[in-house]
Structure 1
Amino acid sequence: MKKMFVCTFAILCLSANITAQTTKDVRKERQEMRKASKSELNEKASKAARKDAKKLTKEGWITAPGALPLEKQLDKSYMMQMEYDDDMYPKYLMGEAMSIGENYDAAKMQALELAKQNLAGQIQTEVTALIKNSVANQQLANEDASSLTQSIMGAKNLISQNIGRTITVMECYRIKTNKNKEVLVRIAYNGAMAKAAAKRAIQEELNEKGEEIHKKLDEILGW
């Protein structure tokens, strides 16, 4: 009984240490992100971002009070689009959309939903490219690739439903002549999470295709 108590106590202590370490790591990561954000805020936006921001401003686009300036939003968006993982898969995928409404919040929500649909289309494109690449590298037979491609092309709505939390990297609006608000948003989604969303969607389409093709899907998407 005493040995069991000692073992239980040791496990609890170990769990507490792991939790404390995890919390410490998360806090450290957030502090580093905050420091990087402050540094980035003080830096001058890229020439391309300043040029595009000037063009958007001429077209009547403005940012909401308290939001980052357009050039900063664009700069962040461009930098995120240039990041790739070790497999040369985009670290972030981007979706963009516009919506018009009498109410700003309603127009924004609609734009975000449309951006998610656009993002789902981007995920489709990237995963289809991975499937084609696997055929070129002789990792996958043509018939299996065809089956997976058909599944991914028919799973856009399912992918959209499986998309989790996105990052809004750009948000601006302009007022139309009839006083309606036109909202433009650009969202980013983690590449690994995008592949996970695609995998879940394809698996729903492949429920009757057998276990073997599911394993091949895991290999293609890096699982």
Structure 2
Amino acid sequence: MRKLFVCAFAFLCLTANVSAQTAKDIRKERQEIRKASKSELNEKATKTARKDAKKLKKEGWITVPGALPLEKQLDKSYMMQMEYDEDMYPKYLMGEAMSIGENYDAAKMQALELAKQNLAGQIQTEVTALIENSVANEQLANEDATSVTQSIMGAKNLISQSIGRTIIVMECYRVKTNKNKEVLVRIAYNGAMAKAAAKRAIQDELKSKSDDLQKKLDQLLGW
């Protein structure tokens, strides 16, 4: 159980330092999490969610009437973050953001837009890791990988525009001293749809490059 907790905690920090890890390290870490039984993951996620919810409440965060308690929202978020497909690609990608406004609904809408930008950044990171992995496995030449990576990094806005319907897995707020509302949201997006959004954006960026490179990319990433 101790080993499982270390793996789970490492994953929750992944979005902050994923760029500093190699694709091989990320894949190994995710394989360890995936090996854990569902019951163990449920137990540990719930314990972690309770602890984090307690901290948020101390900071003044509350939920709107009728919404799930913070513990349940966090628990759902953590469990979704621990799901991967056979290629160790996340089944769900997460985006998070905060925004402040006089009106709750306006602050929430702004937070959702910022979260979508954050989500686009997560998609960039995940697809870049897939490209790095293909180079490590000698499936793609370094020069081709560099070209694709540059296209990915330049396509954040296009990826954001390609993102469809997201799932709000966490929503809470706190009242500032000036009575303004600070809203925190976390959104989830289906991993397969995220790759499709990245594909559309990358294809747009690669229009001026060879069709052969696009075909290689489609084949490598299962597009």
TM-score, length basis structure 2: 0.79
Once the two structures are superposed, the pairs formed by residues 187-198 of structure 1 within 5 Å of their partners are 187-198=187-198
Cα distance in 2 for residues equivalent to 1:53 and 1:197: 32
**Is there any run of 5+ residues in structure 2 with no aligned partner, and where?**
1-42
CA distance in 2 between counterparts of 1:213 and 1:188 reads 30
Counterparts of 1:1-223 in structure 2, within 5 Å, are 46-223=46-223
Report the Cα distance in structure 2 between the residues aligned to 1:110 and 1:128, rounded to whole angstroms: 27
* Paired AA for residue 78 in structure 1: Y
Give 1:99 shift. Answer: 0.1
Shift of 1:222: 1.1
Q: How far has the Cα of 1:216 moved from its partner?
A: 1.1
**Is contact 1:100-1:182 (8 Å) kept?**
yes
The answer to whether the 8 Å contact 1:135/1:145 transfers is yes
CA distance in 1, matches of 2:221, 2:197: 11
Deviations 1:72-114 (A, max 9, x none): 0000000000000010000000000000000000000000000
The one-letter amino acid paired with 2:95 is G
TM-superposition CA deviations, 1:171-208 (whole Å, max 9, x none): 00000000000000000000000000001000110001
Q: Using the alignment, how far apart are the partners of 2:184 and 2:104 within structure 1?
A: 11
2:86 is paired with a residue of what secondary structure? Answer: coil
In 1, distance between residues paired with 2:124 and 2:76? 24
Q: Does the 8 A contact of 1:96 with 1:187 survive in 2? A: yes
How far does residue 220 in structure 1 lie from its aligned partner after superposition?
2.6
The answer as to whether partners of 1:199 and 1:217 remain within 8 angstroms in 2 is no
C-alpha deviation, 1:221, in angstroms: 2.1
- CA distance in structure 2 between the aligned counterparts of 1:158 and 1:190, rounded to whole angstroms: 17
Q: Deviations over 1:119-144 (max 9, x none)?
A: 00000000000001101111111111
The TM-score, its normalising length taken from structure 1, stands at: 0.79
The aligned residue for residue 18 of structure 2 is none
Partner of 2:4: none
Q: Distance in 2 between the 1:150 and 1:46 partners?
A: 39
Structure 1 portions without partners, runs of 5+: 1-42
Matched residues in 2 for 1:195 and 1:135: separation?
18
Runs of 4+ residues over 4 Å off in structure 1 = none
Kindly name which structure, 1 or 2, has the bigger radius of gyration based on alpha carbons.
Answer: 1
